[in-house]
Amino acid sequence: MPQIILAPLVIEAAGTKPKRIEEFAGRVNSNHETVSVARMISPPGWEEQGQCPEFEEITVVLKGTLKVEYESGMLEVGAGQALVCKPGEWVRYSTPGSEGAEYIAVCLPAFSPATVHRDE
């Protein structure tokens, strides 16, 4: 039988300003270890440490612009666009624009603090 997820679980986020993470499916809200799906609501001026995760991350930007730094450059991902980061790729996310950003992050396997490997 299909399972409905009635509401996301709000998870504390890393970064310089409060970012709202609403996990719909993943290790915390639905006990999924193979995939996580979360909506991120990121304020203007938010940034987090760089990371080199063990998981693939697919990000779909719904509103605003997400800035993504990687080892040899930087990308700006706007509303209606998506980004794929492969396991082992160093990235750093931020929302420097005046409107912040709202986006969906899908991680395969599911996001875990133990496998994200944030810079110190």
DSSP 19-31: -EEEEEESTTTT-
Indicate whether 33 pLDDT > 90. yes
How far apart are the C-alpha atoms of 66 and 103, rounded to whole Å? 8
**Mean pLDDT score of the chain, rounded to an integer?**
96
What pLDDT was estimated at residue 120? 87
Helix (H) or strand (E) holding 104: strand 101-108
Model pLDDT for residues 85-116, shown as the tens digit of each residue: 999 999 999 999 999 999 999 999 999 999 99
Do 58 and 82 meet the contact criterion of CB atoms below 8 Å apart? yes
**pTM of the entire predicted model:** 0.94
Would you report the helix, strand and coil content of the chain in percent, each value rounded to 5?
5, 50, 50
